[in-house]
Chains A and B, each alone.
Chain A
Amino acid sequence: MRGPRAGLALALALAATTSVGAPWRFGEPVPVSPHHGEGVFHHLESAGRRNLAVDAGTAGVAWEDNHTGTSQVYVAFATGDGGFDAPRRVSRSRPAYEPAIAALGEGAFAVVWEEADAVWLRRVARDGMGPARRLAAPARQASIDARGGRAHAVWGSRRGEHARIMAAPVRVTEGGMEAGAAAAVDGDPPAADQLYPSVVLTAAGVVVGWEDRRAGHTRIYTSFAPRGEAFGAARPLNDLPPPISAQYGAGTGAARVALARAGVRRVAAAWMDKRDFRGGYDIYAALSGEGGARFGPNELVQDMFGSTIAQWHPALAAGPGGRVAVVWDDDRDRTSDLWLSWRRPGGWSEDLAVPGASGAGEQSNPAIAIDADGDLHVAWLSQDEKHGPTRLWYVKGTVTSD
């Protein structure tokens, strides 16, 4: 086909996968796991929504599903020719949940997950896996980050009256992976539960964010440890609206904070926020140029078309040049779809439906990562109908602009 028709056909084809102004052009979605069907449920869920990581352009996805009859944790890697290799079971034998994955470099990844009321750690690569190491018990809600030969794991310890967020450096050894001494990210004993931590390493140090209930409602707190030093005082991250009652209620809710490294000392945070409770959760973000020691003002991520409905499951990623993206699901178009916004000068972009992850059926629970080239990797769950069996998908967005 040549001439104007060819040009029109090409333009239409491009428009199907590229939204005007979007910095990525998306390919075709591919399935991550071959296991699906009646009674099979996948979950892309972890503290910090760290279910996808990329190393040297290879995406690794960690998830939990029950296709064997019990919930187990799996990892699969993109093959480079448009598909994924066979899933590897990472968990041991007891029901396991909520895995988080980080790229260690040289094709290796670190995975943490929850199993038998403990948190576990394992090195996983395409050519094999190291032994599983128990990080802590009783513990839940683990997450992990890695950068430049360093890695740090976080989890919620349940030793005392209240859950407490702990952090530990982890390193690769000949025998697999080992953790250093664990430290509480908040020096004060918890007055209430600390939950769902997220962690990021930068050249400046380590920053951890989590849900904290000390104020009688759930807020997002962060704590920062300069390299080689202990964690400092915990700081609240989410702003609060004026109280709606002098008598009732401690405050609005915020949940499921995710952190991402956006530069040498630049950190992004995103979370679900109910300060405008009438429309359900909104997605808010904040940026730090100090490695997470301090954050700038809260920023509303989703656009006005999402303001009257609830946003769920925000996933955050950042990449070269400080590009920051958030993907979540909401049903503004009557079915659950994935929506994408990225930060640009002056604020956040208009929300764009992720091609291939919107339209018919239910699309939800995204996990995302931006690689060293600036490409955006997205994994998510789909269902033909609400509450039906799930399938796990992946799509890559190739960067088109700076």
Chain B
Amino acid sequence: MSTVTTRAASPGGGLVLGLALALLAGAAVADPPAGYPFLAYDEGLERAQAQDKRIFLYFGRYGCGWCEKTNEETFSDPGLRELYTEHYVLVYVDAESGRRLTLPNGERITEMELGARLNVVATPVFAYLEPDGTPIFRAPGFKTIEDFELFDRYVRGGHYRRQSFSEFLSAQGAS
């Protein structure tokens, strides 16, 4: 598992790499897992700040096999669904889409452009963000239930403030 924390600061210091998506209803989009209240990024960021909740961001692609595998084999778990629904604002982004979103600095870009800026070279990519959109941790590729439970402990336990994910794993005795 890889850990990449990407942070960007606007010249004014007010922007981190948090993004807001405008949910576009009615268009064919890449599919988030069923039964989860995934939001568009704009709405997700707003809700995260209102509720002071961290964001779980899922980058997917229309027709992505690894995304579908993760949806069916991992996100289908009721326990995982309850865990993530309760503790995160869930946001989904289609990495090919031309739907526009508004960054906190006011810039309007597309979902695909967001992926380009975050160097989302393959999907799925899962990212954890602070309520204001500051990136915490990022994990690309298919993930198991245990993976997401481990990530959750790393994030909600605040370990990311003191340790890299590798250090956290070593401390956990996991490999």
Contact = CB atoms under 8 A, between A and B. Distances in A.
Interface in B91-117: 96, 98, 100, 105-110, 112-113, 116-117
B112 A255 contact: yes
Interface in A208-245: 211, 213, 215-218, 243-245
A38 B11 contact: yes
Interface of B is mostly: loop
Interface string B65-103: 111110010000000000000000000000010101000
B28 A43 contact: no
A192 interface: yes
A41 B119 contact: no
A193 B94 CA distance: 14
Contact of A217 (B26, B62, B108, B116): B62
Contacts of B15: 387
Interface stretch (A27-35, A99-107, A273-281): A273-281
Contact of A249 (B64, B106, B112, B121): B64
Contacts of B122: 274, 277-278, 280
A277 B100 CA distance: 24
B106 A253 contact: no
Contacts of A388: 10-11
Interface in A344-402: 385-389
Contacts of A278: 122
B34 interface: no
Given A248-B69, A249-B64, A312-B116, A193 B28 contact: yes
Given A97-B100, A312-B116, A387-B15, A66 B121 contact: no
B72 to A, nearest CB: 7
Interface in A111-127: none
Contacts of B62: 213, 216-218, 250, 253
Contacts, number: 102
Interface string A302-331: 000000011011000000000000000001
B17 interface: yes
The size bracket of the interface on A is 35 or more
Nearest to A254: B96
B65 A39 contact: no
B35 interface: no
A193 B107 contact: no
Given A248-B69, A310-B119, A388-B11, A253 B27 contact: no
A139 to B, nearest CB: 13
B61 interface: yes
B105 to A, nearest CB: 7
Given A312-B116, A386-B8, A218 B106 contact: no
Nearest to B6: A386
A10 B9 CA distance: 42
A179 B168 CA distance: 62
B157 interface: no
Interface in B33-73: 61-69, 72
Interface of A: 38-39, 41, 43, 45, 66, 71, 95, 97, 140-141, 161-163, 192-193, 195-196, 211, 213, 215-218, 243-245, 247-253, 255-256, 274, 277-281, 309-310, 312-313, 331, 385-389
26 contacts: A39-B12, A39-B106, A41-B106, A66-B106, A66-B107, A97-B100, A141-B98, A192-B28, A193-B28, A218-B62, A218-B63, A245-B65, A245-B69, A247-B69, A249-B66, A250-B62, A253-B61, A253-B96, A255-B96, A255-B112, A274-B122, A310-B116, A386-B8, A387-B117, A388-B10, A389-B11
The 9 closest A-B CB pairs, nearest first, are: A249-B65, A217-B63, A280-B121, A387-B8, A250-B63, A248-B65, A310-B121, A41-B107, A248-B68
